[in-house]
Amino acid sequence: MVDSEKFIEDAIAEIKKEVGTQRAIIALSGGVDSSVCAALAYQALRDNLYPVYVDTGLMRKGETENIRKAFRNMPLTVIDAKERFINALQGVSDPEEKRKVTGEIFIRIFEEVARQKQVSYLVQGTIYPDIIESEGQIKSHHNVGGLPSVMEFNGVVEPLKYLYKDEVRELARALKLPPEVSERMPFPGPGLAVRIIGEVTEEKIHIVREANAIVEQEILKHNPWQTFAALLEKGTGVKGDVRVHGWIIAVRAVQSRDGMTADVLELSYEALRTIASRITSELPDVARVVYDITPKPPATIEFE
């Protein structure tokens, strides 16, 4: 485990040395890694740092507001790119294609802002497991880690690249970031797009986002490593004596150390029944709720 206070001090000095009086940009995703990175870089660079958050429309319920709140002391630029993402995802149902499409829009938006602001450095929250996993190429993980190969910067600053997640969380606490940030579960870069099987539509985004909020309310108290809802296909149900063709929501809750392998969280039957009942009654278009009982491997944590 690193000594947080010392690490913070050294990282700030290092960023100052590297970037000097030039300008740097950082993409905040809402996750703990980019948040810690932004907090460090802001202390080092102040007004020469441009923190940017792209609202993809594929974020969890309340996420954009939470980020605005958590970073209210920084000149955060929030870019509303909801329409751009949904339009680009039209007709795309292949998981890797979704990652490619969403990743590319991020890069385009970034290029636009970087050009406008005339920045020369990119700060990013790459951590050690990101490097290992992308070497293994298990999935084309899209996060800001994919940016520098396509974009031209004088330099890329990655202060967290030798750290593990639990060490980054320690730093977040030491930097006094709110618990919604320091204890936040992992969330995939392409967001809810990879929690919808098949084509992404606004209706599906709405349903999976609401279902996910219920799942978090019900399952976070059982301390999972990660939990979420995914939207599968449609299936038949009966609601108020009428047969309906409604959505099937899958609930996932896992324990893991680093996401490379995972065990299913053993929830009580009562907890599961409450979740099914809340989702089907609060979301009239959902007919069925299933709990995924597959560990990783052979399944992955996400459905796509």
Binding site for ligand XMP (CB under 6 A): 99, 138-139, 141-143, 186, 188-190, 226, 259, 296, 300-302
Position 297, amino acid: P
Closest alpha carbon to 37 in 226, 155, 177, 186:
177
Least separation in angstroms between residue 158's CB and ligand XMP is 15
Least separation in angstroms between residue 100's CB and ligand XMP is 10
CA atoms within 13 A on the CB side of 11: 28
Taking the least distance from each CB to ligand XMP, the nearer of 5 and 94 is 94
Taking the least distance from each CB to ligand XMP, the nearer of 138 and 238 is 138
Least separation in angstroms between residue 192's CB and ligand XMP is 11
Taking the least distance from each CB to ligand XMP, the nearer of 237 and 259 is 259
What is the distance between the alpha carbons of residues 40 and 36, in angstroms, rounded to a whole number?
A: 6
Taking the least distance from each CB to ligand XMP, the nearer of 193 and 279 is 193
Least separation in angstroms between residue 50's CB and ligand XMP is 22
Torsion of CA 285, 288, 294, 297, to 10 degrees: -30
Return phi, psi of residue 242, to 5°: -115, 135
Cβ 128 vs Cβ 162: under 8 Å: yes
What is the distance between the alpha carbons of residues 28 and 8, in angstroms, rounded to a whole number?
A: 19
- Sign of the torsion angle spanned by Cα atoms 221, 224, 226, 231: negative
Least separation in angstroms between residue 27's CB and ligand XMP is 12
Least separation in angstroms between residue 162's CB and ligand XMP is 19
Taking the least distance from each CB to ligand XMP, the nearer of 35 and 226 is 226
The CA–CA distances, whole Å, from 49 to 101, 138, 187, 277 equal: 27, 33, 24, 47
Least separation in angstroms between residue 75's CB and ligand XMP is 25
Taking the least distance from each CB to ligand XMP, the nearer of 153 and 303 is 303
The CA–CA distances, whole Å, from 288 to 135, 245, 295, 302 equal: 38, 10, 22, 19
Taking the least distance from each CB to ligand XMP, the nearer of 224 and 246 is 224
